[in-house]
A and B are shown apart, each in its own frame.
Chain A
Amino acid sequence: MANGPLLIVLLALAGVAAATLLGLALAGFARRRSRPYLLVALALATLLIRVAVASAAMAGLLTDPDHHLAEHVLDVLMAALVIAAVYTARSVRRRANADTDTEREVVDDD
């Protein structure tokens, strides 16, 4: 493969960046313990899975069509998770206390 070395460098960079982002997202979720944070973390996890899939393809463990399909499935998954995060952020509603203007998060029991 002509682009072999370049591809390996790119994959390594993508792996480090995706792992850092996922680490931040998991730390954020550990702090907040809310559904939107979990969904954001899962969405960012798909970035890391992408790197794993690409590495598997490079190592010959995955055929090109399978690799292609997997990447697009992950795209759909990521978009769906972000949409779900945005959506649930709406149902983690802020209830302005009757006599205060500090809000507390209240999870809808929908």
Chain B
Amino acid sequence: MKYMLLIYGNESAILSAGKAETEQRMAAYGAYVEAMKKAGVLLGADRLRPTSSASTVRVVDGKTKVLDGPYAETKEQLGGYFIIEAPDLDAALSWAARCPGASHGTIEVRPIWAM
């Protein structure tokens, strides 16, 4: 099955982190991605730019409405995702637990519709 691991975290804390801390985080993500590749589970991944760069679009009564900012103002923001192939939910959950973001924020695990 395919799963998406959605990484939620406190964006402002991440952006205001010091150089050493940021380097450490990047290194941890690097090792995590490497481990996923070696295990043959990684199908795709992206890191998102901060929510300050986000816009939302909605078409109401034929009129396009564009707003500045993310879909919802929340304490933790979506910062990126991984798409993995895993035999079952338990396997997906154990990959999610290894994600460096899981120790600071929350990883949402969502199965992906098979097309």
Q: Do A and B come from one complex?
A: no
**B: which residues have CB within 8 A of A?**
none
